[in-house]
Amino acid sequence: SNKQARGAFGEVQLNDLVSSALPPQAYEFQSTLSSGVRVDCLLHLPNPPGSIAIDAKFPLESYSALRAVAAGDTPALAAAQRGFQQAIRKHIADIRDKYIVSGETAESALMFLPSEAVYAELHANFTSLVEESYKARVWIVSPTTMMATLNTVRAVLKDVRMREQAGAIQKTVGLLLDDVKRLDERVEKLKSHFAMTEKDLREVDISADRITKRGERILEVDLGDEPTALPKP
């Protein structure tokens, strides 16, 4: 029965859903926009669509009044339906005016209803309100549909990370190819040095062979008689 407690209940449930589905860097609770207003949760998505605001709303009083109408009490039912419509319509307008900021957030925002029963009542008997929310670009979600939405957000963030990593991989491969090219150039230089060294070794071998052959020819020369011994003094 306490509005503040209901608001806290919706925020806690929203926090649990978001923190269990997304990495910490993908969201911020109680985020303050440039206009000075504070939103229950801001999902950080790349452009497009940009950051998406989520505000928890729990119109329990109007819903309880609607469910408490006795069967057959048409005037009371009509009054309760008007009260429920007014509560939902006000929440839609508040979210549209406060949490959709051109150039700062996405062009749409989410209204989180922390009750499957209220969400079911809205879609079963107040389809015109749902259509109004679409026109205002305020998407109404329950705990179940909120989790489905968060799974989609997680898939988007994963795709963004993959694309970022693909760019980093391409950059690294480019640098690797540059290194391979430089290595090839240095191998070619080294091969030329080896070729020069091989040529020098062949020339040294040729010179050594010539020297050996000349020495052998000298040894083969016949100098005649043995040399005469010198007389003793």
With a pLDDT cut of 90, the percent of the chain lying above it is 46
Q: For residue 53, which of 9, 14, 111 has the smallest C-alpha distance? A: 111
pLDDT at 225: 55
Helix then strand then coil, in percent of the chain rounded to 5, is 65, 10, 25
Report residue 61: phi and psi, to 5°: -60, -50
**Radius of gyration, CA atoms only, the chain:** 44
pLDDT band at 126 (very low <50, low <70, confident <90, very high): very high
Residue-wise pLDDT tens digits, 41-95: 999 988 878 899 999 998 888 888 888 887 778 889 999 999 999 999 999 999 9
Q: What phi-psi label fits residue 224: left (phi over 0), alpha (psi between -120 and 50 degrees) or beta?
A: left
Q: Does pLDDT of 215 surpass 80?
A: no
> pTM for this one?
0.66
